[in-house]
Structure 1
C-alpha cells in the first residue's frame, strides 16, 4: 500500500501493485467487456440449478475473492458490496458466481488507478450513514451497509449479510444500526483518546420507524416490533442517545450513501456515490444540507400515512397515554382505534419540526 502525504489538506491511499498482481493471476476468460460497475443488478440472485465450478476453478475463485476482500477493506471500498456477496459463495461457487467475479475483476481492471482520498473538516464531528436492504439474500436474510466520513472520503465502511431473518424493513434497518454500533462507539472513543472533543456523532437513517425505535427503544414497540430482541435496542437501552454518545437523524433516501453498500447501484447514481466514498468530492461534515434533520422525514397533514410501522409505533405510544389520544382497546372498536392512530400520526408528523425544537407546548409528540 502507498500512502501519499504530499498534499497538506488530504492523504491518499492506493495499492496499484497489489491490483496489478490480482489482474495477472486472473484467468483471461474472466476479463471480458467493459463494465461500469463491479456488480450487476442481479448480484444477490442465486440459481440452485446452476452448474458448480470444478475443483481447480473453485480454488481460483476462493483465492481471488480473498485478495479482493483484502483490497476493498483497505483502499477500494467501491468493491465492497460485490465482494461481500462473493464471500458468501466460496463454499460452493457455481458458473453464475464465476461470472459475477469476472464483472468485479473487469471493473477493477478498468479502474485500477483509483485512489482513496481522505480528509477531515472537524475531528469533533463524525457522520455515519447506516442502512439495510430487506431480505435480499436467497435465505431471505437482509444486508447491512454502513459508512463514516469526517469530511472527505470514507475511512470506515462495512457491507455484510445479517445473521438473522427479520420480518420488515424497519426491523432489518434496526438490526443494521446494531451491527454498526460497535464501530460508531469505537471511533468516538478513539478520537477522544487522541485528545479531540467530539461534539457530534450522528447516525443518518432513511426510515422513520427505525428512527423512532432507535430513539425510544421498547417504549415505541408495537405489535409488529415487540418481538425484537433486546440487543437490537442497544443504541437506546444503553443510554447512548440520552448521554450524547450519538444521535439519530433522518436522511432522504436519495442522499443515503449507505445504499452503496446494500444494493448494486448502477449508472450515474453509482458514480455519484462512489466519488463521495473515494473522496473525489468533498462532502463537508459541517454542512447541514448534506442530510436534513429528522423533522423533514415526516409528511404533511395532507399526505397519507403510508407505512404500517409508523402507525404501529403511534399505537404503542397512545396505549401508554403519550399521544393526543388515549386508546382503550377493550371499549373502542378497531375502526375507532385505527382512526385515532392515523390522526395521531398525522398531527405528530405535521408538528415534528416544532417538537424537535422543544418549543411545542404539549408533550404529545415527544417520542417523534
Structure 2
C-alpha cells in the first residue's frame, strides 16, 4: 500500500456492498484466502476507535464481510487504507469552541442491501472535537425513515446518559449538569421522542427504544432540530461527496495541524 495513489474519500459515493459480492467459485475463495482482509480491518478498527471518526462508516460496511470477503469488499478496504495514508497528518484538534458536550444523531433508512436494515450514526463533540462516535447497523428493520431516526436517537440518548455521568464525576465540565443537546434532522423522530405516550403508529416499536422519552423527561437530554446539511452525524450513516464530507470532518475537529496554527 505504500506506493498506492492516495484517496480523497474513505468510500466512494454510490458504493454498495452485499453478500452477492462474496466469492462464488473455489478459485475466487482460494484467491481471497490469501488476502489479509481480517488483519487489515482490525488495524483500521483500532485507528478508527482511537482517533479517526472519519472512517467509521466505511469500516462498518467493510467489516460485515470478514467471514467471506470478495474482491469488491477488498477494494473498499484498500480505499480506506489509501485515504488514511493521504490524511495521515490530520488530527482531532480540541480547544476551538466552548466546553460543552453536544450530540448529533442520524440514520440512513433501509440502506443495507442484504437485509434492508437501516444504519445509525452518532457523534458527540466537546470543546470543538469529537469525543465519542459510532456507525452501526440497526438490530431491527424499521418501516419508515422516521422510525429509523427514532431508533437511532434512542440509542444515542443512552450513550449521552453514560457520558453525562462519566464527565460529571470528573468535575471539569460545569455545563454537564445541564441537559445535553441531541441534534436530529427528522421532525417526526423529534416529535415521537418528546411524546409522553405511544400512539398507534409507534406501538410496534420495541419498548426499549422508548427509553429516550424518560431520558428527556428527567432532563438528561434535550432533543433539538438541526438542518440535514448541518448534521455532523451524516457521514456516519452514508457515503458523501468530498465537499460535504470535508465540511463535516471540520465540524468534528478533524484538521491538519497547519489549519489550527
| Same fold per superposition (TM over 0.5) | yes
Report whether the alignment pairs 1:229 with 2:206: yes
Residue of structure 2 in register with 1:332 after alignment: none
CA shift digits 1:136-170 (9 cap, x unpaired): 10210100100011231111111111111110111
Contact map agreement 1:152 1:279 (CA 8 A) in 2: no
**Cα distance in structure 1, aligned partners of 2:23 and 2:254:** 40
Residue of structure 2 in register with 1:171 after alignment: 147
**Structure 1: 5+ residue runs without aligned partners?**
1-22, 282-368
2:14 to 33, 42, 54: 42
**Cα distance in structure 2, aligned partners of 1:173 and 1:260:** 15
For the structure 1 residues 264 and 79, does the alpha-carbon distance in structure 2 shift closer, same or farther, using more than 3 Å as the test?
A: same
Residue of structure 2 in register with 1:211 after alignment: 190
Residue pairs, 1:18-167, within 5 angstroms: 23=1, 31=4, 33-46=5-18, 48=20, 51=23, 54-55=29-30, 57-58=32-33, 60-119=36-95, 121-123=97-99, 125-138=100-113, 139-167=115-143
Contact map agreement 1:153 1:280 (CA 8 A) in 2: no
Contact map agreement 1:154 1:278 (CA 8 A) in 2: yes
Compute the RMSD of aligned alpha carbons. Answer: 2.1
Q: How many residues were matched structurally?
A: 248
**Cα distance in structure 2, aligned partners of 1:184 and 1:154:** 13
Offset at residue 120 of structure 1 (A): 7.0
TM-score, structure 2 as length reference: 0.87
**Structure 2: 5+ residue runs without aligned partners?**
257-261
For the structure 1 residues 188 and 209, does the alpha-carbon distance in structure 2 shift closer, same or farther, using more than 3 Å as the test?
A: same
Residue of structure 2 in register with 1:276 after alignment: 251
Offset at residue 51 of structure 1 (A): 3.6
Q: Which has the higher contact order (CA 8 A, sep 6+)?
A: 2
Report whether the alignment pairs 1:258 with 2:233: yes
CA shift digits 1:90-126 (9 cap, x unpaired): 0111111011111111111211221111237444x32
Residue of structure 2 in register with 1:322 after alignment: none
For the structure 1 residues 194 and 47, does the alpha-carbon distance in structure 2 shift closer, same or farther, using more than 3 Å as the test?
A: closer
Offset at residue 222 of structure 1 (A): 3.3
CA shift digits 1:202-223 (9 cap, x unpaired): 100100010011111534x233
**Cα distance in structure 1, aligned partners of 2:81 and 2:180:** 36
**Cα distance in structure 1, aligned partners of 2:192 and 2:73:** 37
